[in-house]
């Protein structure tokens, strides 16, 4: 059955691929981005040409989010699926970024997902149906140097997604987290560079360039069988088509670097915590990580 789908960050590498794949699967897709008639005109025109609804939305702005959701509901009557994909990265040593840069990153990656979920959940609760997909990262489970602020935002998405899943389930709403591997092209596409490009070392000598160390890490990922945007897009198509209640809580896309095991262990610990609190929480069957065939 065709669904009405809102995907944020529609102008980015993954957002464009996802919007296209979902539209080709027969769904009505609303792809949001900033400045679709300005700096993102080329990306917006490509989506418009495929029959995809493009709307201007800034996920860091309450008014913009609320206006965008109202406009979709007025046009389509409902929003069946929300894909929280808007995202910025940060490339450099943690302390080389300004507080304003860190604030912007968390406002986009974490609070932005919260804003959209908050705006859409009332309609989903009334319908007793819906699906929210948050785009996380393997960097929300493992930490690497010089991508630390970005990883911290994805750690936050892990916790937010779990809590939202528990809270939304009684209303017939599924919440799923996708954990893609690192895509070097996408990392650079939406990257913030640190305000302080060359922080001094304790002995007054400059540290080795964080860009060079980051490039070393990215070179490793380039040599791996990392996820292409089409890989994530097809996983989204499968998730949307799945029956309510049958969807996995997490999906790892690309090399897992061991986070499959972390996912399973975390879920079992959470289930134990529910039991210790005397509550009937979710159990821990092995459905986290990679979807079963």
Which residues are the active-site residues? 150
Beta bridge partner(s), residue 54:
31
Q: Tell me how many degrees the CA angle 195-200-201 measures, rounded to the nearest 5.
A: 135
C-beta neighbour count of 109 within 10 angstroms: 27
Give the 3-state DSSP-derived string for 238-286, with helices as H, strands as E and coil as C: HHHHCCCCCCCCEEEECCCCCHHHHHHHHHHHHHHHHHHCCCCCCCCCC
C-alpha of 208 from chain center: 31
Rounded CA-CA distance 24/20 in Å is 6
Q: Tell me how many degrees the CA angle 129-250-117 measures, rounded to the nearest 5.
A: 45
User: Residue 24's closest CA among 178, 230, 173?
Assistant: 230
Backbone angles phi, psi at 227, to 5 degrees: -75, 135
User: Residue 230's closest CA among 172, 171, 183, 280?
Assistant: 183
Question: Is residue 81 a contact partner of residue 6, using CB atoms and an 8 Å limit?
Answer: yes
Structure tokens at 122: 């009332």
Residues 6+ apart with CB under 8 A from 95: 196, 199
| DSSP per-residue letters across 99-121 | HHHHHHHHIIIIIHHHHHHHHHH
Rounded CA-CA distance 58/9 in Å is 9
């Amino acid at each position: 059955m065709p669904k009405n789908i809102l995907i944020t960050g529609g102008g980015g590498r993954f957002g464009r691929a996802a919007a296209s794949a979902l539209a080709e699967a027969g769904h009505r897709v609303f792809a949001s981005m900033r400045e679709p008639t300005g700096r993102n005109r080329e990306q917006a025109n490509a989506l418009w040409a495929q029959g995809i609804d493009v709307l201007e939305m800034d996920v860091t702005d309450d008014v913009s989010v609320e206006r965008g959701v109202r406009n979709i509901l007025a046009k389509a009557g409902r929003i069946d699926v929300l894909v929280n994909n808007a995202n910025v990265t940060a490339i450099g040593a943690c302390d080389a970024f300004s507080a304003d840069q860190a604030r912007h990153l968390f406002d986009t990656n974490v609070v932005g997902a919260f804003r959209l979920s908050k705006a859409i959940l009332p309609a989903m609760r009334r319908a007793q149906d819906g699906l929210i997909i948050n785009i996380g990262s393997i960097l929300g489970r493992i930490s690497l140097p010089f991508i630390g602020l970005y990883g911290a935002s994805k750690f936050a998405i892990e916790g937010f997604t779990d809590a939202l899943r528990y809270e939304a389930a009684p209303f017939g709403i599924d919440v799923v987290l996708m954990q893609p591997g690192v895509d070097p092209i996408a990392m650079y596409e939406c990257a913030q560079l640190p305000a302080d490009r060359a922080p001094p070392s304790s002995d007054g000598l400059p540290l080795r360039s964080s860009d060079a160390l980051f490039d070393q890490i990215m070179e490793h990922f380039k040599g791996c069988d990392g996820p292409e945007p089409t890989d994530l897009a097809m996983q989204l198509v499968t998730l949307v088509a799945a029956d309510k209640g049958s969807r996995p809580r997490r999906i790892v896309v690309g090399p897992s670097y061991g986070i499959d095991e972390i996912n399973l262990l975390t879920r079992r610990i959470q289930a134990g915590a529910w039991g210790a609190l005397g509550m009937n929480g979710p159990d821990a069957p092995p459905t986290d990580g990679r979807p079963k065939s």
